[in-house]
Amino acid sequence: LSFYSCYLTSVCVKRNWKLDPVISEMFNTTKQHVVSPPKPTVTLQPSWTQIYSGETVTVRCDIQGGEGAQWTYKWRPAKGNTPPTSNEYRISSAVESDSGGYSCRGTRTYLLTQWSDTITLTVSCKLQMFHPDYLFHQNQ
């Protein structure tokens, strides 16, 4: 987590049209800590970013420090199909149109994470090789 510091300054509180120096000083010296929201990590299982059509891949969203929390996940898949709200997005029998970038974010009560970095998946056609003699004998 990243911590940022900011100060509230230039606050004018008037009481009977006069500046209240106590309240003004309190706001001018109060230090506020703002915690940036967590950023999830997207991984692939198996971990290859290039697979062949027909294979299965699982895209996983992990939120560091968020283990055990009740997160709802939102996904930005390559083609906009609606994935589940869990932390895993399974692509069975992948096709070329599944290629593209995937990212996620988590939400829970009063907390919304950043979007993860995008991981790019490439699905290639699977070439099938045949021995020439096999093709010749099959065509007779």
pLDDT in tens, 35-72: 688 999 999 999 999 999 999 999 999 998 877 778 99
Does residue 8 sit within a domain? yes
Digit-coded pLDDT (tens) for 8-41: 444 444 444 444 444 444 455 555 556 688 999 9
What is d(CA 71, CA 11) in angstroms, rounded to the nearest whole number? 38
Check the CA dihedral 45-50-55-58 and report its sign: positive
Whether residues 22 and 86 fall in one domain: no
Domain count for the chain, please give it.
Answer: 2
Whether residues 114 and 54 fall in one domain: yes
Structural domain of 119:
41-124
